[in-house]
Amino acid sequence: MNLLLFIIVLIVSFVIVRIGAIAFQLTGLEWSLAKFQALSCFTSTGFTTREAELITSDLRRRRIASVLIVLGHAGFVTLIATFANSLRPRAIADELVIPFSPFAISDKILPWINLAVIVAVIYIVYKVFSNTEFARRLTNVLRDRIIKREVIKSVSFEELAVATGGYGVSKIKIREDNPVLGKALSESELRKDDITVLAIVRADRTVPNPVADTKILAGDELICFGKLGNIRSKLA
């Protein structure tokens, strides 16, 4: 029973981290960064000053991080307890009622068998939730559920990198209601707010260092550098 509980908690932990990563992504974080931050919050490790600023500067992200930290502590304690109990002699044999196991497997060997099973389970679960089609499909299903139930609303603003002083690089997807839609870069007055457009991603084409008369179209993704707060208030 302890081994079964350990496996269940382990799988649930991976699912929670994936949900946390999706939630962070929907608030504007890049996917790889969102996954890392979700794992960092859940395990309470791995933060760096610049990446932590992306979490602490946003109210919704702080709430997501708080939930992950609380669940992470609870899950970690449960995993430790079930792991320790799973290594007790006869823990698996008694639960699975293996015929003739008291005679075929000695008490000294059983803990090592239990440990081998745990290591194998951890490896399999990790592989399944890392880079497989199942993981991608699970992520898409969870993301659709979160968006459909409006647990977290998706944003058009992604913080790709953050520097000191609140400056950073961001990607903004231009929607129909964006105030700069249809304007040339020179008309958008972004430079007055200390915002520089580094590139425009349009369909499958990237326009680096766009000229001042380049018009901003619906569906464009602007790669900008400037104060993240200014970029968010002006374009998001």
CATH number, residue 192:
3.30.70.1450
Tokens of 5: 């509980």
Question: Does the pLDDT at position 126 exceed 60?
Answer: yes
Residue 204, amino acid: D
Nearest to 91 by CA among 99, 78, 82: 82
Of 148, 174, 201, the one marking the end of a domain is 148
Most confident range (mean pLDDT) of 10-24, 38-52, 122-136 is 10-24
Q: Burial level of 116, CB count in 10 A (0-12/13-18/19+)?
A: exposed
Q: For residues 69-92, give the mean pLDDT.
A: 78
Same domain for 163 and 130? no
Distance between alpha carbon 121 and the CA centroid of its chain, in Å?
23
Same domain for 64 and 181? no
Same domain for 120 and 181? no
Quote the domain boundaries for residue 167: 157-235
pLDDT at 169: 86
217 or 88, greater pLDDT: 217
pLDDT band at 216 (very low <50, low <70, confident <90, very high): very high
Instruction: Please give the DSSP secondary-structure letter assigned to residue 220.
Output: -
Same domain for 205 and 228? yes
Same domain for 81 and 196? no
Same domain for 178 and 140? no
pLDDT band at 59 (very low <50, low <70, confident <90, very high): confident
pLDDT at 92: 45
Query: For the stretch 117-139, what's the b/e string if a residue is b when 16 or more beta carbons lie within 10 angstroms of its beta carbon?
Result: ebeeeeeeeeeebeeeeeeeebb
Q: For residues 17-45, give the mean pLDDT.
A: 85
Counting the structural domains of the chain, the total is 2
Of 95, 114, 148, the one marking the end of a domain is 148
Of 130, 148, 166, the one marking the end of a domain is 148
pLDDT at 116: 85
Same domain for 100 and 207? no
Same domain for 61 and 40? yes
Model confidence pLDDT, tens digit, residues 103-113: 455 566 667 77
Same domain for 114 and 168? no
Same domain for 23 and 116? yes
Same domain for 64 and 163? no
Kindly report the pTM of this predicted structure.
0.62
